[in-house]
Amino acid sequence: MTEKEKMLSGALYNAGDLELVWERDRAKALCEKLNVLPSGDGPARERVLSQLFGHTGGNIVVNSVFWCDYGYNIRVGDDFYVNHNCVILDCMPVTFGDNVMIGPNCGFYTASHPMDAERRRAGWEYAAPITVGSDVWFGGGVTVLPGVTIGDGAVIGAGSVVTRNIPPHVLAAGNPCRPVRPITQEDGTIQFPRESKT
């Protein structure tokens, strides 16, 4: 079994393997290319993303600066929006449904390391996938950890650290992130007050 096969199976693998190093270098080169393209050049940015990601739907916006480990493990649906400074460590699949919005400074991390320092020093890692449903909104500064599934229609509050699964159609927040309440039809009627001009 190659180190890449071990990585994709969730087993311990050595991240210093030459094949994995080459694939990370390729992804970093594509990220660098994306990060210097003008924000208004949507077609060029989408071309780079189609080379980087394993699957892309339609109407994808990924703002600079963006970084990932491999790229080919990232699968996104239609109407995918990522604000600035996103990092996706995709040692295993990171899958997003349709109509997903990601605020600035968010991270999605499938990678983890052994607790004992000796194996960490030797370069061993392991990973678990992240799955995000459709119609999910991540506030700014959210961190999603390995093995998490987030259900359709969930809203993840700014600054949350998501360590466990989040059910569909809830507002969830905190560190660790927990469901706060269901999202209801009344949430569609909330309007922000306008500032008075005095």
From 55, 84, 113, 169, the catalytic residue:
113
Q: How far is CA 168 from CA 121, 150, 179, in A?
A: 39, 7, 10
Distance CA 109, CA 100 (A): 17
Name the pLDDT band for 191 (thresholds 50, 70, 90): low
Q: Which pTM value belongs to this model?
A: 0.93
The CATH topology of domain 3-180 is UDP N-Acetylglucosamine Acyltransferase; domain 1 (2.160.10)
User: The tokens 């990092």 sit on which residue?
Assistant: 87
Instruction: Please state the φ and ψ torsions of residue 4, each to the nearest 5 degrees.
Output: -65, -45
Range in 71-85, 160-174, 184-198 the model is least confident about: 184-198
The dihedrals phi and psi of 101, each to the nearest 5 degrees, come to -120, 130
Residue 187 makes CB contacts below 8 A (sequence gap 6+) with none
Is the model's pLDDT at 189 over the cut of 90?
A: no
Residue 113 designated active-site: yes
For residue 193, pLDDT beyond 70: no
pLDDT of residue 186: 83
Q: How many residues does the chain have?
A: 198
* Residue closest to 91 by CA, chosen among 73, 67, 113, 108: 73
Q: Which residue shows structure tokens 């991240």?
A: 15
121-169 pLDDT, tens per residue? 888 999 999 999 999 999 999 999 999 999 999 999 999 999 999 999 9
Q: Which of 23-32, 55-64, 115-124 is predicted with the least confidence, judged by mean pLDDT?
A: 115-124
Question: Over the stretch 22-35, which tens digit does the pLDDT of each residue have?
Answer: 999 999 999 999 99
Dihedral over Cα of 13, 20, 143, 154: its sign: negative
**Distance (Å) of CA 44 to CA 32, 53, 67, 143, 192:** 13, 14, 17, 28, 36
- How many beta carbons lie within 10 A of that of residue 141, not counting itself? 16
pLDDT of residue 15: 94
